[in-house]
Amino acid sequence: MRILIVNPNTTRSMTDKAAEAARAVAGPGTEIIAATSQMGPASIEGHYDGALALPGLLAEIKKAEEAGAQAAVIACFDDTGLDAARSLAGFPVLGLCESALVTAGFLAQRFTVVTTLERSRVLLENLSRHYGFGGRAKVRAADIPVLELEDAASGAIGKLRRQIESALVEDGAEAIVLGCAGMADLAHALQEDYGVPVIDGVSAAVKQAEALVAQRLTTSKRGSYATPLAKEYAGAMEAFAPGAV
């Protein structure tokens, strides 16, 4: 089984972190293929960055599918380009937010997503409602620019911990969801420290991707993800991201 982990931003160190988290949970027969977008923003912190990331993301997914990948995980907690990728790809595509919320729903009645910046909090609240978890999930922002998670001296981990502690006390959270792919390496230590499930979206998405591939299931192309006019847009897409179509 070959699963693509695709980072829709251009920061390679974040790709490496997500790939490491994916390989730590992947089954013995699963090969993790990591890819970094070749165009777009260095980090994704809201709708504007997500829009800029879309052409490069789709190019990497198409390239991996043609090379034999059987599923893809978009390594951004905003679920950047998820619907577009599902329309394009002939294999299952998983998003971190959706996968993490579903996993948290198996484990707890109430849980809190701790993300980076305020503008990301609003976006994730909307996603939570969209995925049907609006009544069970709260979202907190730790005031951490994404790239500060790459800097041990930034104080980002302390800010994250303070929000987790507030979620446990003030929200009555029974589990914590880490709302950024750049937090993937922190899940196990935080779970040990706080004694509640701490869900990393990369790990959750990889295991769900494995399950879908094993069941020979993929995204329906009837209705929402059908692309009957895709060929008409091929020229425009090629101009933005050669090889994407």
In the chain, the domains with their CATH numbers are 2-95+204-240 (3.40.50.12500), 97-201 (3.40.50.12500)
Phi, psi of 46 (to 5 degrees): 135, -175
What distance in Å separates the CA atoms of residue 81 and residue 133, rounded to the nearest whole number? 20
Structure confidence at residue 142 (pLDDT): 92
3-state secondary structure of 196: coil
Structure confidence at residue 45 (pLDDT): 85
Predicted TM-score (pTM) of the model is 0.90
Task: For residue 142, give Cα distances in angstroms to 18, 154, 201.
Answer: 20, 13, 17
The confidence score (pLDDT) of residue 226 equals 84
Residues 6+ apart with CB under 8 A from 59: 37, 38, 39, 241, 242, 243, 244
The whole-number pLDDT of residue 229 equals: 53
pLDDT digit string (tens) for the chain, length 245 residues: 999 999 999 999 999 999 999 999 999 999 999 999 999 999 888 889 999 999 999 999 999 999 999 999 999 999 999 999 999 999 999 999 999 999 999 999 999 999 998 888 999 999 999 999 999 999 999 988 888 887 777 888 999 999 999 999 999 999 999 999 889 899 999 999 999 999 999 999 999 999 999 999 999 988 888 875 554 455 555 555 555 55
